[in-house]
Structure 1
Amino acid sequence: MIEAKNIHKYYNNLHVLKGVDLSISKSEIVSIVGASGAGKTTLLQILGTLDKASQKDTNSLLINGTDILKLNDKALAKFRNEHIGFIFQFHQLLPEFTALENVCLPAFIKNTPKSQAEKRAKELLDFLGLRERYNHKPSELSGGEQQRVAVARALVNNPDLIFADEPSGNLDSESAENLHKLFFRLRDEFGQTFVIVTHNEDLANMADRKLTMVDGNIVG
């Protein structure tokens, strides 16, 4: 599913990623842990195509067989919309839209017909226990409900990959535990691959594989 080789990232003279090699299989749940500043979020953003690796003659990034480093910006945006979902610590729901409308947004970007997008969004919200929350705006939802809406939004285009950056960092312990269990339920139900950056050791240890980053590289 993901084959990354010799991934580097520089910010001016700061060498953040120092030749990361990584292989992740389809339907695998992988956690990435490490101290703040180790490069976890930078790596996640590059794997998720939100940022670009610093060019090297020997680096490569394949996602589901597609050479990401060779795509132009338009093709990259299309690939991201169709194949990748994102879940962040701060859910980033649009406050003026309802839960249903927030979930539909990636589908609308994909030019999915409104009726089809809403049908899929309702299926996901139902699956996540939010049947009664279709028309509620984020301010009317609890933190756990908002995060589940964000999960539905990440899934609406049936992506192959889900990237999550501290997804439970802003939740209480019960909501965090429920979200962690949900990831595994989603993997079993829909077959997605999850890459999760987290400081939560319980979540990290639940993963199929835990990777540790130290000073810009993966050490275990």
Structure 2
Amino acid sequence: MIKAENIYKYFGDLEVLKGIDLHIKEKEVVAIVGPSGSGKTTLLQILGTLDKPAKNKNEELIINQERVLEQQDKSISRFRNTHIGFIFQFHQLLPEFTALENVCIPAYIQKRTKKDAEENAKKLLEFLGLDHRMDHKPNALSGGEQQRVAVARALINNPSVVFADEPSGNLDSASAKKLHELFFQLRDEFGHTFVIVTHNEELAEMADRVLVMKDGKLTSK
């Protein structure tokens, strides 16, 4: 599913990632843990094609059998929209749109019809227990509801892999627990692969595998 080799990243003279090698299997739930500033989010952004590693002769990133580092920016954007979903700590919902409209946005970018996008969005929101909240805007939703809308938005194009960056970091403990359980339910029912950066020990312990980031390097826990 995901194969990364020899991934380096620098910010000025600061070496943030120091030759990361990583292999994630299809339908695997992997947690990446480690102290703040260790490079977790930087790695996630590179794996999710939101950023690029430092150029060297041997770096490689393969996602779903596609060598993404060899692609041009427009091609990478299309690949990202089709194959990758993102869930962030702060849900990043657009406040002027309803829950249903927010979920549909990635489908519209993919140029799917309004009917098709809305039908799929409604199914996801129903699955996530939000069928009675579809027409509400984000400011009328609880934190847990907003994050579930963000999950539906991440899944609308049926991505191969979902990257989540501290997805429960802004939730109360009850909502966080429900969100964690949801990830595994989605993996079991729909076959999604999840790569989750988290400080939440409970979530990390639930994962199939835990990777520890320290000083720009990965080790298995």
TM (normalized to structure 1)? 1.00
Partner Cα separation in structure 2 for residue 196 and residue 99 of structure 1: 23
Partner Cα separation in structure 1 for residue 141 and residue 176 of structure 2: 16
Residue 149 of structure 1 deviates from its aligned partner by: 0.1
Task: Name the SS of the counterpart of 1:131 in structure 2.
Answer: coil
1:55-204 counterparts in 2 under 5 A? 55-204=55-204
Specify the alignment match of 1:52 in structure 2. Answer: 52
Specify the alignment match of 2:216 in structure 1. Answer: 216
Q: Does residue 1:24 correspond to 2:24, yes or no?
A: yes
Partner Cα separation in structure 2 for residue 5 and residue 134 of structure 1: 42
Partner Cα separation in structure 2 for residue 13 and residue 164 of structure 1: 28
Residue 219 of structure 1 deviates from its aligned partner by: 1.9
For structure 1, the residue ranges without an aligned partner over 5 or more in a row are: none
For structure 2, the residue ranges without an aligned partner over 5 or more in a row are: none
Partner Cα separation in structure 2 for residue 98 and residue 211 of structure 1: 37
Residue 174 of structure 1 deviates from its aligned partner by: 0.1
Partner Cα separation in structure 1 for residue 173 and residue 56 of structure 2: 42
Partner Cα separation in structure 2 for residue 17 and residue 115 of structure 1: 43
Residue 204 of structure 1 deviates from its aligned partner by: 0.5
Amino acid at match of 1:14: L
Amino acid at match of 2:140: E
Amino acid at match of 1:53: P
The alignment covers a number of residue pairs equal to 220
Identical aligned residues as a percent:
66
Partner Cα separation in structure 2 for residue 152 and residue 136 of structure 1: 15
Deviations 1:75-119 (A, max 9, x none): 000000000000000000000000000000000000000000000
Residue 30 of structure 1 deviates from its aligned partner by: 0.1
Amino acid at match of 1:16: V
Amino acid at match of 2:23: S
Residue 167 of structure 1 deviates from its aligned partner by: 0.1
Amino acid at match of 1:185: Q
Partner Cα separation in structure 2 for residue 98 and residue 21 of structure 1: 41
Residue 12 of structure 1 deviates from its aligned partner by: 1.0
Partner Cα separation in structure 1 for residue 87 and residue 198 of structure 2: 12
Specify the alignment match of 2:205 in structure 1. Answer: 205
Task: Name the SS of the counterpart of 1:132 in structure 2.
Answer: coil
Poorly superposed stretches of 4+, deviation over 6 Å: none
Residue 47 of structure 1 deviates from its aligned partner by: 0.1
Deviations 1:183-207 (A, max 9, x none): 0000011100000000000000100
TM (normalized to structure 2)? 0.99
Partner Cα separation in structure 2 for residue 174 and residue 219 of structure 1: 30
